[in-house]
Structure 1
Amino acid sequence: METDPTMAAIMQAVTSSRAGDQTGARTTLLDLWHTIGPHGDPLHRCTLAHYLADLYDDPAEALAWDVRALDAADGLSNERAGEYHASLDVRGFYPSLHLNLADNYRRLGSFEAAQREIDAARRCLDVLADDAYGTIVRDGVAGVAAAIEARSTDRRH
């Protein structure tokens, strides 16, 4: 398996963000987005947009990036994902992608759209392993579903 320089750059930006440099990470990811373009490799677009959405406090801005991530996932094949890492299954992307969309819609007060997305996330939870990541996503779905039911637009942590 060859190193994918674009994925390496994306993951380096994610690491920088988690270390506290969110502004630098956002700048790096936006620069990469302009290099990749809206019709570039779906794995690159999905991954970048998914992580970039997390770097925006404004739910409308985050929503725009999460929609891009979902659109890219729809064009991503397991073959391409497997070229990057053999364990990747595109179906496993969808619970988190729909969860993020649901949370953004909820924060914007669009509760019907949020409910549709949380229902979509629930329908694909079975693809997640019983591991730490699966637990995080399942807990997130439960938390966002409760916030939708409560009609809360408060930011979740």
Structure 2
Amino acid sequence: MRIISSVLLFIAAGFLVGCHSDAPVTRLATKQGEQVPVPPFSIAITLDNEAREKLENAGESIKGWIVFDGDGTRLPGEKTAPHREVFLGTHDFELERSGTIRIKDATVSKEAYARLSDRNYHFTINVVSGRRSFGNNVLSGGFAMGKFEDLADGKPVRIYCSLLDTGR
């Protein structure tokens, strides 16, 4: 069931991608089983002026989730699409405003981690408006992906968001 939920979140991100901060972080997901810590890293989320103003005026938050996956041995009968062969888990966050957040409490499945053929696994970050004031996501551009070796320089992953074009 967790894989199905994660897959649906990943697919939804493709359609509703939208934008992190020194603001308080709320942990949204719970983990089951033994976990391995993810190396700490930072995400810098920048909203253009129009998006920042719209979210601030509405008291809207920014939500995000990180999907961790990698190459390795898939379990017999396991379907991991759209992820790679080894789905490691997710980490969710929510912010009051844009800025830089330090991800230091993310974990992944120890069992899945043991099946990796390359410990330099992948991350995919999706960011959207919080949907507390607006019924739908209003942000565009909230997406980044890479491998952990990309973070070796200590610089944050940068995500830039603007407002979705609603055709008005």
User: TM-score, normalising length from structure 2?
Assistant: 0.25
From the two aligned structures, give the one with the greater strand fraction.
2
Q: TM-score under structure 1 normalisation? A: 0.26
* Higher helix proportion: 1
Higher Cα radius of gyration: 2
